[in-house]
Structure 1
Amino acid sequence: MSLPFALATRALDAILAQQPLTEVGSPYRELRSPMSPAPVGTMRVWEGSGGISRMVYVGLTVPPINLDSHMVFAFTAPKSGVPHFTLDSVYGGAYYAYHLDLIPRAELSSHLSYMDSAYHPLTALYEEASQREGLSRAHIGPRQHALMSPWMLVHRADEAAFQGMNPIVDAYVSHWLGLVSAGLPSPVVESLGDTDLAARDATVRANLFSPAVDPVWAQVSRLLGEPASDGIRDVLIGGPLT
């Protein structure tokens, strides 16, 4: 088991152990490329009717181009204020890379109690993890940063630093699962009454997974073809499963 796959599986297993989710297909889709007669990856999808509405895993492993990429997105219910969870873990031949975050469901700057409840408990962990040896700046643009939270951890890493992410991922997952299970405090929920959570989420997810914002989709399209790339993005945006 590669280190990126192990890190992604660590998060998946923790979520599946606590949340009632049902997998769709086994897997939902095999991912194929013109450069290989065998599948180059898988897409797995789980759905639920509780705090998590959909969880998506996309894994791509292509040794000829030194690609080993594993992405997890767990989406909370459309009308929930609880953030979404995301983890990307990658080996690109010369370095490891990751990003880890809880994606806001409302504007943080105008909802201080929401920010304090959903994010502030991660502050000490975020600051400590950001200063570890073996990490360097990841190439992510300002527009992508704007769609995520200020508590996002996103770096390139050497092998030792990447392995050291295990307890950080565990802590982020544990905090997030606590929010999913307990829900946000009533005063915090009331403070979000000025936000159409479902409409905002639809807009944010369309932007987050837009090829115009995230250049990774151009790479995915070159590897898998545009129809397959569009199909992955449609599931992530929240489209119907086929």
Structure 2
Amino acid sequence: MSLPGGLCNRTVDTLVDRLGAKEVTGPDGGPFQVLGSVMGPDPVGSVRIWTSEKVAKIVYIGVVVPQIGLDSHMVFAFGHEDSPIPHFTLDSVAAGGHLAFHLDLIQRVDAGIHMVYNDWAHTPISAAFEELNTLEGLSKAQLEPRQLTVMSSWMVANRANPEAFEKLDGPVNAYLEHWLSLVDSEVPAAVLADIEDTNLAVRDAKNRALLFSADVDKVWAQMTRLLGEETSEKLRLQLASNQISA
């Protein structure tokens, strides 16, 4: 398995196992959706979805097109709409001869006015964040400032050489284990008091509409060129809400 595929799939396996998640399969018992490409008749990837009592849904999207050097794997684990637990996301990819990854716990409230929340949801991953910003062989990916506004301050998006990519399991697991600890624990009363001014479901809907907006994230233009407009839009909507879109 490729470096990007291995990192993402190990993370997916941990999520599914630890959350006791059940897969939502397609009509044939396979992946929820098989992805085709405008480039030819052969499948280029798949969408897999799991549900769990602990979280709303887990979504994996994999796209592998060797003829253009693309090997992309991403997973999102979305909390319930009324939960303050961040959403977990990992994207690992090889494209254009480069390796890259994106890792975040997407905040559920305005970080600028909720420091008690920040210290519960994100401060414990600061050491892993620093490791991902100082590890030799990593360099920052270029994201537009407006795109950064819909992510957390602990988001990391870096390019990596193969040697550095092989060292990502440790910090990625630090993010993942902290996130799983939040899922498995009661939200402290002090955190609930800190965020009582926030309508979590309303904010989440607005945040995800921007996070997965084609206007904000240019990756959707690339997905449209590769998969076609209809398929790309279905993927975007699958991520923008907790509903499982057909």
TMscore range, shorter length = over 0.9
Deviations 1:114-158 (A, max 9, x none): 000111111122112211111112021111111111111110010
Indicate conservation of the 8 Å contact 1:106/1:197, yes or no. Answer: yes
Name 1:32's counterpart in structure 2: 36
Q: How many residues align?
A: 241
Indicate conservation of the 8 Å contact 1:44/1:58, yes or no. Answer: yes
* Aligned partner of 1:63 among 36, 48, 66: 66
Name 1:85's counterpart in structure 2: 88
Q: Does 1:117 align with 2:120?
A: yes
Secondary structure of 2:97 counterpart: coil
**Equivalences for residues 36-47 of structure 1 within 5 A:** 36-47=40-51
TM-score, with length taken from structure 1: 0.97
% same residue: 46
* Aligned partner of 1:187 among 180, 187, 190: 190
Name 1:8's counterpart in structure 2: 8
Distance 1:34 1:225 in 2: 6
Distance 2:237 2:199 in 1: 21
Q: Which amino acid aligns with 1:148?
A: M
> Which ranges of structure 1 fall in alignment gaps of 5 or more residues?
none
Q: Which amino acid aligns with 1:232?
A: L
Q: Does 1:135 align with 2:121?
A: no
Q: Does 1:241 align with 2:245?
A: yes
Distance 1:183 1:212 in 2: 36
TM-score, with length taken from structure 2: 0.95
Indicate conservation of the 8 Å contact 1:82/1:183, yes or no. Answer: no
Distance 2:75 2:143 in 1: 18
Q: Which amino acid aligns with 1:28?
A: F
Distance 2:239 2:36 in 1: 18
Report how far residue 34 of structure 1 moved.
2.2
Report how far residue 240 of structure 1 moved.
3.9
Distance 2:224 2:38 in 1: 11
